[in-house]
Amino acid sequence: MNSAPFPESSANELPWSAAVIIEQQPARQAKLFQWWYSFTTPASAPTSYVKREADRKARLLSMVVFFFLATLIFFIPATLQMPISTFYLDLITIAITLGALLVNKNGKTLLAGIIIVVTFEIALALGIVLIRSFNETDLQLYDLFIIGELLAISLLPVRNVLIVAVLNSIFTWIDLAYHPHTPVLAQDMATQFLPVLVRPVGLQFIIAGVVFIWIDSATKAIERANRAEMVATLEHAMAEQRASSEQEKRELEESIQQLVGAHVNATNNQIAGRIPYPPARVLWPLVGVINSLWVRLQRTQQTERELQQLKQAISAYNEFIQKRPLSSQHSLSGLRTGTDLDQLVASMKNLYGNTRDY
């Protein structure tokens, strides 16, 4: 008895064909964010893998910035109880972030991500530097650099999160060493500098490492899914092309048989008025030429029949004249050929005064 949660038989029956994969409809985006996408992402519809990936990154940046702006706006009341510089830095960050959305709207997603990450890092660093005297509560501000890492891992290539983590750690070490402290914190820092430094720096690197592994795995999974979709699309296109080629081949064979049959009938003097156009469109110009030639051939056959009749009439009249001289009273009207020679005979009868019934 198979106790597996997914029996092998059921797995084999799943429709993994290329057509099924292609026909699957993409998940619908939440209608709540459609209006936001219309203002912050390019309007062009993705038609290829490259454009779809660019559209996905643009939408990702748009959604990340949506929540980032919400956080900045929510943080405004708290800045009113902090140094006035913090309030202005928050407003400047909001303004630059809105400008980055316009950059993203124009299709420059990477540049928009760089602007957002650099703006946040500089704003947070300036906010920390502008604090006159650090106390134990202000040490928690170093932990906010994690937001910069999350922005970097979401908006920039994955490897950049490690660079951001290193820069944040260097800034934390320098600022913690040279920033003015309150007397209580200065006394603690004299004996507990490394323990105080290890906490924000260790937090930076463990967050960066875990998120790096997670996002890198997710990115590779997306790439594999995209490659599988591309392969399925190519297989579907090749299958359609193969079916179209087979259909054209059948039509071409039927058309050739039709033309061969028409040629055989023509050989047996059974020429149709016109050959109907065959299913294979590629042979239509040839059929048009053949129909033109057949019209000429029919005219030529008619001319040959008339010429044959004329030759027979001339031979008959020649034999008649040799046996019966024109001076005799015998009539020349004994023969009717149905050709122009009959008019010649009538003219000769009038010329020689033959008054007998013609």
- Tokens at residue 65, please? 């910035």
Least confident of 54-63, 91-100, 275-284: 275-284
| Mean of the per-residue pLDDT values of the chain | 76
Percentage of the chain beyond pLDDT 90 is 12
Residue 181: helix, strand or coil by DSSP? strand
Distance CA 103, CA 295 (A): 70
Q: State which of 206-220, 221-235, 255-269, 316-330 shows the largest mean pLDDT.
A: 206-220
Distance CA 265, CA 323 (A): 44
Distance CA 40, CA 64 (A): 12
Query: Residue 134: pLDDT band by 50, 70, 90 thresholds?
Result: confident
DSSP class of residue 47 equals: -
Average pLDDT value for residue range 315-337 = 60
pLDDT in tens, 199-227: 888 888 898 888 888 888 887 887 788 78
Average pLDDT value for residue range 265-280 = 64
pLDDT in tens, 138-160: 788 888 889 888 899 888 888 88
Query: Residue 303: pLDDT band by 50, 70, 90 thresholds?
Result: confident
Distance CA 282, CA 16 (A): 37
Distance CA 358, CA 349 (A): 8
For residue 211, count other CB atoms closer than 10 A to its CB. 19
Query: Residue 27: pLDDT band by 50, 70, 90 thresholds?
Result: very low
Distance CA 326, CA 320 (A): 10
Distance CA 38, CA 323 (A): 108
* Predicted confidence (pLDDT) at residue 293 exceeds the cutoff of 50: yes
Beta bridge partners of 134: 181
**What is the per-residue DSSP string for 321-335?**
HHHS-TTSS--STT-
Phi and psi angles of residue 181, each rounded to the nearest 5 degrees, phi first: -115, 160
Domain ranges of the chain: 32-235, 281-351
